[in-house]
Structure formats: structure tokens, C-alpha cells
Structure 1
Amino acid sequence: MSKVLFVKSNDRPADQAISVKMYETFLNAYKEANSSDEITELDLFELNLPYYGNTAITALYKRNQGMELTEEEVEIADIVQQYLNQFLAADKVVFGLPAMERNGSGTIGNLYFYLAQAGTTFKYTAEGPVGLAGDKKWLYLMHADPIMHCLEWKLAKWLRNT
């Protein structure tokens, strides 16, 4: 049995968003093929997680230094820790992302900040950062607009010829 974390970062209906349809199709097929796996689903738009900003950064710093936190700092630090622990406990992680100008949505960027914790999910070395999250299996389900690919190809071709 594996622990699988499914993360959805698109609030559009499946009939209007290829990435949502892809995510839902994969999720249902995965559940059917792996009925003994423990599946946790996160819908980032439904969760509406607090932004990872100054309060979260300060709270986590203070907690790591053993300093006293305000009530607001305790709350945000606990939320970040909850989702970080959930991520660390997963054997597999599946992200369902919209193309949104090739960047994904702000909700996924916010979650990435929750998860990118030095000393927990990565460490700094003289050779650069090194991952600490273990041997997780990852899957990104993302729709990429074929028109965008065509434009990128034409731009690359034009740049090579100038």
C-alpha cells in the first residue's frame, strides 16, 4: 500500500479545462487500479491556504530558533507544518496543473513555498541544493496549448536564423 497525495490547482469545471478533465480521469483510473492505496486529495482553490509571506517566514524562523511566537504566527506555522508533513508522508505525489501562461496558478506556487523548507525538504551544500524528501514518485498532469508550442518553435527557428 502506498500513500498518494493528489494536488489539484485549477478551479475551472472539467468541461472547460483540459487539465481538470485529465486530472479527474487519471485520479479515477488510479483509484480503480490501486484500490489498496491511501489517497489524499488537496483542492488548493477549496483550501484557500494563507499566502506564504512575511508572517509565515517570520513564524517558521522564530519556531526554528526556539523564540516565542504570536498567536497569528503559531497559526500560520502550524498550517505550513501540516501540509509539509502531509507531503513528506506521501510515497507518490500527483499534481494537476493548468497551463495558465505556462506558469501554473498562484495556488501551486504558494504550496511550493510551504514545501520548500531548508533542512527538511532540501539542504544547501557547496555544490548546490540537495533534496531531502526521499525517493518519492512524482507526476505532473499539465495541459500545454499546442498553439503556444507552435509559436515557441517558430520563435526558436527565427532566433537560430538571425
Structure 2
Amino acid sequence: MNILQINSSARSTGSESTRIADAIVAKLTATNAGATVTRRDLATDPHPVLDEATLQALFTPADQRTAAQASRVALDDALIAQVQAADVIVIGAPMYNFGITVQLKAWFDAIARAGVTFKYTATGPVGLLENKKVYVALARGGMHRNGPTDTQEPHLKVFLKFLGLTDVQFVYAEGMGLGPDAVAKAQADADEQINAILV
């Protein structure tokens, strides 16, 4: 089993989404002998955002790219290769201002490439990252699950399905900004969820 862990908190330490993601990975490695883990912390090793220069590089034929363009595309290629090689993807996804972090958005922009991770067909787009399990660790300061302020989970479901990632399990830690008792409860709830889905 090849496990890819993506930590997308802006915090390199003290992140609840990272704690949950670590716990999921620990449980997976404990029950799958020989599992390998590749970790990418987008706080300490951020990926560049999608800008005009990057778009120009991506839409320039490979044999016509400048050295700078080729170097930029290679950064995205490396992330795509990690995703393609993974059997399991674990994403730590805190909620910032009702959505995903800019760090995670930059990673998503890098791995979504037509003809590589999805393709357009006469009947619509088809995801090419199939037969992979995804776990998403959601940490929120307030209480948003199943409510109108939870734009994060629907966005993640749509994007992951777009790439062919349909086997997705969410783990929630909510109320992290509501005081010590709420934090303790949120962490205990998250741990219970992990134990329930990873027997």
C-alpha cells in the first residue's frame, strides 16, 4: 500500500487537521504491513499558485517550452506522479473562512490536468484517478457539518469526483474555536470516527 498524506494547514505545528491525518496514517500503517508513506506539508513546502505564467507554460507544447516553463511544469508533474502512485490519499483540510485553504487549492490546481488526471468526453468529463481510497480530515473552529455554512465538504466531493476519486471518507473535528472543553470533545469525536472507519 502506497499512502500519500497531504497536510494543507497554514500551521506547520499544532494543526488539528494534521493531527487527524497523522492518526489515520498511523492506523493504516499499523494494519498494512509494508505500507509506504509519502508526506507533503504545504505549510513548510508550499506549491506555487496558478498564475498567468504557469498557464502559459502548461498550454505551450512540451518541446517548445522555455527552460523556466519546463521547470514550472515539472513541479506540477511531480505532484501528479505522487497522486498516481498512491493507493490511499489522506488529506488534512482545515476550514478557513468557510472553505479550503489556499495551500490546498494550489495543490488541487496542480494535480488537475486535462488528459492526465481527467479527460473530456462527448458525455462530459471523466476522472482518471480511479481505484484509490481517500480520507479527508476536516477541522473547523465552529459547527458547520450538514449546515448551510459547510461549503468545504461539497467542494471537496465535487473536485475529488471530477478526478475519479469517488471512494472518499470524511473525519470531522468541529468546535475547535469554542474553548478547551469543545476542543477535547472534538478531538475525542474525531478519534472515535477513525476507530469506526479503520477497524
The TM tier, using the shorter chain, reads 0.7 to 0.9
Which AA in structure 1 matches 2:118? F
CA contact (8 A) 2:62 2:70 kept: no
Q: What is the TM-score with the length of structure 2 in the denominator? A: 0.67
Q: Alpha-carbon deviations, 1:87-131, whole Å to 9, x = none?
A: 111111110110112311101100101111001111112322111
Structure with max Cα Rg? 1
Provide the C-alpha distance between the structure 1 equivalents of 2:146 and 2:119, rounded to a whole number of angstroms: 38
Q: 1:48 offset after TM fit, Å? A: 1.8
In the alignment, is residue 143 of structure 1 matched against residue 139 of structure 2? Answer: yes
Corresponding pairs, count: 148
Written as runs of structure 1 = structure 2, the 5 A alignment for 1:36-47 is 36-47=34-45
> CA RMSD of the aligned region, Å?
2.1
TM-score using structure 1 length? 0.80
Q: How high is the sequence identity, in percent, across the aligned residues? A: 24
- Shift in Å at residue 135 of structure 1? 1.2
- In structure 2, what is the equivalent of residue 32 of structure 1? 30
Which amino acid letter does the alignment assign opposite residue 38 of structure 2?
T
Distance (whole Å) between structure 1 residues aligned to residue 38 and residue 91 of structure 2: 12
Superposed CA offset, 1:40-62 (max 9, x none): 01101111222222222211221
Unmatched segments (≥5 aa) in structure 2:
150-199
- Higher RCO (CA < 8 A, seq sep 6+): 1
Change over 3 Å in CA distance of 1:26–1:126 after alignment to 2: same
Amino acid at match of 2:57: A
Structure 1 residue identity aligned to 2:42: L
* Paired position in structure 1 for 2:2: 3
Distance 2:147 2:127 in 1: 34
Relative to its length, the structure with more helix (as a share) is 1
Gaps of 5+ in 1: 154-162
- Which residue of 84, 94, 115 corresponds with 2:90? 94
